[in-house]
Amino acid sequence: MKKTCNNEFVFVAPYLRKYFINNSLNINTIRSVCVFLGQIMDSITQIVLGAACGEAVLGKKIGNKALFFGAIGGTIPDLDVFVGDWLYDSEIQSMAYHRGFMHSIFFAILGCLILGFLQHWIYNRGKRIGKIRRQEWIQLFFWSLLTHSLLDCFTAYGTQLFAPFSNYRVAFDNISVADPLYTLPFLICLIVMMFFNRSSKTRSILLKLAFGISSCYMLFTLANKAYVHNVFKSSLQDQGIEYLRFRTQPTILNNILWYGVAESESCYHAALYSILDGSKAPKKWQKIPKNHELLPTEDQDIKTLIWFSNGFYSISETDEKEAYIFKDLRYPLMDEEDSNSSVFSFLIKKENNNWMLQPIYMDQPNEKNFEDFWNRLKGI
């Protein structure tokens, strides 16, 4: 069965949108490039962060090799997408496994010990005997594994930081899964640093600059989150919308256009807000019916989907028996005017008493979707 991709990536970076459309590429090509860009950016971010940890621990002793081994450590947690496919026949359970145990503090401790002992045995032989202590290899892998999981906690997807003791998913919702303003300065500093000798002061300065810029930007996104959160909260109060809970998060590849969703007893209310908007309120709250009664919530697979969406989900019927559209409302609408345009939507279908996850059940985004996204980001 075809693996379902993370649909948040269909929100293309604004500067790419003009290039694609002006060069008359079809919409499927645009979407494919956007998905690829988002996935690559996410992977690059974790590789860069892991490499920086490797440099901080062993850069002065082994130079660029420390970047390489740190990058490996920073990549390992995301291999859980393959482990999940191997462990589970159900795509629902496989999807839920991502950012689980292999993203936990416990795994960072266990993994760094295994990798540290193994790497010490492989690397420290012959003329290298005694050059790098086992504790240093353990430290390198610990920080590259742990920082991967900690960084993921700032996104909306959620990270089971305390697995296997708890399935609670930590999600601060202040930065996109892929954000060029976090990744690119970090990446540039590390690339330039590679051309300097491992004992060079410039190399040390560039590493501090890389961590400094990325950390300052992360602090900015947290402050931005607090501001936008209050904007959405005030708007809900002004509109007289009574809610049980609500959440906010940035849309893909930026920290300017934000999405908010509030849950009431019978429905959800969703809206977009750009920090460039002239007013300090979302332009419109879209009402989305819950329809939770359509699914058997006692079923284990359905329970997993509900847990995965943190309870922010809407159900729509299809023409087919025991087949429904499941919309994860943690992620934005493609169209503010269309309550059925949730980015993270897919078809769930019951076959042989098991619920199957089908390929994405939604129309391909069109030029108007990108035009609307670009305009909303600019505050139009």
183-241 residue pLDDT tens: 999 999 999 999 999 999 999 999 999 999 999 999 999 999 999 999 999 999 999 99
Query: Between the ranges 32-41, 271-280, 370-379, where is the mean pLDDT highest?
Result: 271-280
Task: Extract the tokens encoding 300.
Answer: 């284990």
Segment 285-312 shows an average pLDDT of: 94
Q: If 0-12 CB within 10 Å is exposed, 13-18 middle and 19+ buried, where does residue 222 land?
A: middle
Q: Is pLDDT of 262 > 70?
A: yes
Please name every residue paired with 159 in a beta bridge, in sequence order, or none if there are none.
170
Q: What are the backbone dihedrals phi and psi of residue 154, each rounded to the nearest 5 degrees, phi first?
A: -80, -10
User: Which pLDDT score is estimated for 30?
Assistant: 46
Give the pLDDT score at 353.
80
| pLDDT band at 252; cut points 50, 70, 90 | confident
Q: What is the 3-state secondary structure (H, E, C) of 109-169?
A: HHHHHHHHHHHHHHHCCHHHCCCCCHHHHHHHHHHHHHHHHHHHCCCCCCECCCCCCCCCC
Checking if the pLDDT of 309 tops 50, the result is: yes
Domain map of the chain by residue range? Answer: 9-225, 231-377
Q: Is residue 127 predicted with pLDDT exceeding 80?
A: no
Contact 184, 336 (CB under 8 A): no
Cβ(305)–Cβ(92) below 8 Å: yes
Name the helix (H) or strand (E) containing 250.
strand 245-250
Question: Band of the pLDDT at 34, cuts 50, 70, 90?
Answer: low
- pLDDT computed for residue 124 by the predictor: 81
> How open is the CA angle 116-121-122, to the nearest 5 degrees?
100
The torsion angles phi and psi of 254, rounded to 5 degrees, stand at -160, 170
pLDDT level of residue 363 (50, 70, 90 thresholds): low
What mean pLDDT do residues 137-150 have?
98
pLDDT value at 339 more than 80: no
Contact in structure between 28 and 54 (CB atoms under 8 Å): no
pLDDT of residue 31: 46
| Nearest-angstrom CA–CA distance, 246 and 236 | 10
Whether residue 334 contacts residue 365, with contact meaning beta carbons closer than 8 Å, is answered with: yes
Question: What's the token pair of residue 48?
Answer: 């860069």
What integer pLDDT is reported at residue 7 of this predicted model?
Answer: 41
